[in-house]
Amino acid sequence: MLAAGAFSNRLAVTVGLSFPIRVEALQMIRSSPAPAGSLIPVVSAIRRKLSLKQSHDGTFLLGGGWPGDVIEDGRGYRLRPASIEGNWNEACAILSAVATQRREDAWCGLEAMSADNIPLVGPVQKMQGLIVATGFSGHGFAIAPAIGRALADQIAGEPVPELDGLNPDRIVSESAAIQ
């Protein structure tokens, strides 16, 4: 079972495989704490790159796919000041409670983006016995519980047609990325 996110290809190469995934550094910002209850839902906004929520400690968490840079060894990142500014401005534009706070922290997470931005989940024809679950392309939190259950059923030999569209061979065979 290979489910190592952005590090999946590092492991795959040890058995002579390579998946059509690229690593992206996605940026987050944390603000100073505002009064609790300033924002209840998680907010996004049409035509804005924004995901905005308030944590229990009052801090706002800002994201939305703003890029940092993956550093050369593929294990770390560098923040992009322009992404911090852009993300902060988007949040301030729709919620004035953010604008009265300070930016306290910023960081990136490394994410495996598949070539078609659809996860690679299931057995790999070119290596009998190998199951992958990677390339979640920015949506892994939301679908992880369902994927976990479905994949467990599939491994136990049950038919799981819901996973057909995620089968790695759809893209691996086309791109010949597995050598």
Ligand X SMILES: Cc1cc2nc3c(=O)[nH]c(=O)nc-3n(C[C@H](O)[C@H](O)[C@H](O)COP(=O)(O)OP(=O)(O)OC[C@H]3O[C@@H](n4cnc5c(N)ncnc54)[C@H](O)[C@@H]3O)c2cc1C
Q: Are 132 and 120 in contact (CB under 8 A)?
A: yes
Question: Tokens representing 105?
Answer: 């922290």
CA 166 to chain centroid, in Å, comes to 16
CA 165 vs CA 63, 124, 171: distances in Å: 28, 13, 10
Does 121 contact ligand X by CB under 6 A? no
Does 78 contact ligand X by CB under 6 A? no
H or E element: which one contains 142? helix 140-155
Among the listed residues 12, 39, 62, 63, the single contact to ligand X using CB under 6 A? 63
Piece in contact with ligand X (CB under 6 A), picked from 32-40, 68-76, 135-143, 165-173: 135-143
118-127 residues labelled b (16+ CB within 10 A) or e (exposed): ebbbbbbeee
Among the listed residues 121, 134, 150, 168, the single contact to ligand X using CB under 6 A? 134
Residue 50 Cβ vs ligand X, minimum distance, rounded to whole Å: 11
Piece in contact with ligand X (CB under 6 A), picked from 6-14, 73-81, 87-95, 152-160: 6-14
CA 105 vs CA 23, 148, 178: distances in Å: 22, 32, 39
Does 86 contact ligand X by CB under 6 A? no
Does 139 contact ligand X by CB under 6 A? yes
> Which residue has its beta carbon closest to ligand X?
140
Does 88 contact ligand X by CB under 6 A? no
Q: Which residues bind ligand X (CB under 6 A)?
A: 3-7, 11, 26, 28, 51, 63, 109, 111, 134, 136, 138-142
